[in-house]
Structure 1
């Protein structure tokens, strides 16, 4: 799959980048210990977050701008920013799924009109009910019960996405599930922001 073109000028290319004629590596190519086989389907969608964190810290230690000067410092700053963005993306299942879809030419991250399929109306009604339930909650116990149910929905979406990215030919299914997961993550954020009486 074609990698994203993150850097737009020679001054923004990180130290470890190939010659100007080559695009930057994709995020999976950056974390070669965590993902020795590259992006799915060569590697599983599910990520070893602890290993990813270890490799992130190692990469950042080598790229830290304070270790460089002049033009090298500018390249190190660009590298550090790229590593940060890659880590943040690969750490979170929703961002990871959106990134993998983007590598395949499908943009869903910022498309508020993205549809999940034939069950759109049912899903949207369910999400609306959940949000109203959060707003009406009177106790931490109610919120925690809703949180547990929603986390199960998130886990199920992640499981479906893992299956979609494990094989070719399931791009549309992955797109729909990524949109569904985005709804569940939004519900999670509403639950996290809940305050009694607000």
Structure 2
């Protein structure tokens, strides 16, 4: 009889203009970018924002709530015009997101700005990076949306799925990965797990759209398992022990 090792309880912190045109000055680029990111929009009325919460500008100075974006979604008005759910959607056009991310970073890159503007540019660039990293990953996106509602599951040891069948499925997946002799044997598993991830994203889309936060929380926890399996499949090495953290 095979024995299963217990799953660990920690979550692994499971990416030109034509040469004939004259380019605007770096300082104007930064000002333009900051004005775009500072423009209030209807998405700030979303249930995921707190209008009474004050924030700080990229250079660390205080600011009124409407003067800078309230959420990561507000940084990308072209790619995510409707903002976060329930007004907008959980699913995102990743190509459009990346295109707008590159455009914003091109304007805010610290190397393009004079010394007096570098600190602000660095802070702005860091925020754009963090927002893109979060939004392009469905698990991080779900965790972020839940955090806006005061629910932290990334480091929550109690945020687990109380589903014996699911846990058995995860344990069997770990065993299959460990016993594989070559990557070809894992091809079917990769397809199966891709279907699981797609289904979780579909469930999360509906849950967030309906503002069903409890369902969204449960599905986000489940998605952590599928993302963990995906990472183990992507990083497979023959004979290497598999630790599926959750």
- Place the TM-score, normalised by the shorter chain, in its bin: 0.7 to 0.9
1:11 is matched with 59
Higher helix residue share? 1
Worse-superposed segment, 82-91 or 64-73: 64-73
TM value normalised by structure 2: 0.71
Q: How does 1:91-130 map to 2 (within 5 A)?
A: 91-117=136-162, 119=163, 121-130=164-173
Residue 195 of structure 1, aligned match among 211, 231, 237 = 237
Structure 2 spans left out of the alignment, 5+ residues? 1-47, 241-246
Task: Note the C-alpha offset of 1:183.
Answer: 0.5
- Structure 2 CA distance for aligned equivalents of residues 8 and 139 of structure 1: 52
> In the aligned structure 2, how far is the partner of 1:34 from the partner of 1:126?
36
1:174, 1:8 → 2: CA distance?
Answer: 30
Q: Which shifted more, 84-93 or 60-69?
A: 60-69
1:70 equivalent to 2:115? Answer: yes
In the TM superposition, what are the counterparts of 1:45-194 in structure 2 within 5 Å?
Answer: 45-117=90-162, 119=163, 121-168=164-211, 170-194=212-236
What residue is the counterpart of 2:20 in the other structure? none
> 1:109 deviation in Å?
1.4
For residues 32 and 57 of structure 1, what CA distance do their matches in structure 2 show?
14
Which whole-Å CA distance do the structure 1 matches of 2:160 and 2:112 have between them? Answer: 47
Q: How many residues align?
A: 188
Look up the SS of the partner of 1:11 in the other structure. Answer: coil
Instruction: Give TM-score scaled by structure 1 length.
Output: 0.87
Decide whether the 8 Å contact of 2:138 with 2:201 is kept in 1: yes
Residues 10 and 27 of structure 1: is their aligned pair in 2 closer, same or farther, counting only changes over 3 Å? Answer: closer
Could you say what the CA RMSD is over the residues aligned between the two structures, in angstroms? 2.0
- Which residue is equivalent to 2:244? none
